[in-house]
Amino acid sequence: MTEIDFWFSIGSTYSYLTVMRLDEVAAREGITFNWRPFNVREMMIAQDNIPFAKKPAKAAYMWRDIGRRLGKYGLTAQLPAPYPLEDLALANQVALVGMAEGWGKAYVIEAYRRWFQQGQMAGSEPNLSQSIAAVGQDPARVLARAEADDTVEALAEATQDAAAAGLFGVPSFVVAGELFWGDDRLDDAIAWARAGRLA
């Protein structure tokens, strides 16, 4: 079975729908997802791709659309969640440290849970320290590593890799060079991994 790269940034609203169900999907479908955090904000600003700021009709729809789809996936949330994040970069620098140390996915899920279910903005306190502690790590140690130059550089490199893969937003899935954008394309990505075409 081909693996699927799951590109995301903590800070993306629609990614809540993916992050909170992806482990269950992976187990049910027998597919491995490689969780790859990067800085989607930096990418989208560079691409002049600003989907919601100063677009009230589209922003209102986004929250309603997410709200309607929660039930489809058995999820809950208090909407709208605080948005946009004040420190998207730091939220994802922590994720990158976690991916290298083996607790990254659990942190991402916890950060989203606190953001969307408890109204704690991801990437800011208390979400940062509480999410790190919740996955068994020391917040002071992790935050120092997350803010170190090599982690900042690693997130920039991940963002360049995402751009090279053709990304322009998240969540995105890349399988065998094919890009699928949006939580609503997860089924397409899985079909492509299986058969090289859509179901």
Helix axes 149-164, 88-101, angle to 10 degrees: 90
Shorter beta-carbon distance to its own copies: residue 102 or 197: 197
Binding site for its own copies (CB under 8 A): 47-49, 54-55, 57-58, 60-61, 64-65, 68-69, 71-72, 163, 166-169, 178-181, 184-185, 188, 192, 197-199
- In terms of CB distance, is 33 or 192 closer to its own copies? 192
- 62: its two tokens: 């986004």
Q: Which is nearer to its own copies, 65 or 153 (CB)?
A: 65
CB of 72 to its own copies, least distance (A): 5
Distance of closest approach, residue 153 Cβ to its own copies, in angstroms: 23
Question: Which is nearer to its own copies, 51 or 126 (by Cβ)?
Answer: 51
Strand 172-175 to 33-37 pairing: unpaired
Long-range contacts of 108-114 (CB under 8 A, 24+ apart): 108/8, 108/10, 108/19, 108/35, 108/37, 109/19, 109/20, 109/23, 110/134, 110/135, 111/10, 112/10, 112/15, 112/16, 112/19, 112/20, 113/20
> Which residues, listed in sequence order, are joined to residue 172 by a DSSP beta bridge?
7, 181
Shortest distance in whole angstroms from residue 124 CB to its own copies: 28
**Cβ at position 133, least distance to its own copies in Å:** 35
Nearest CB to its own copies, comparing residues 112 and 181: 181
Residue 160, burial from CB neighbour count under 10 angstroms (0-12, 13-18, 19+): middle
CB of 58 to its own copies, least distance (A): 4
Tokens at 142, concatenated:
């992790």
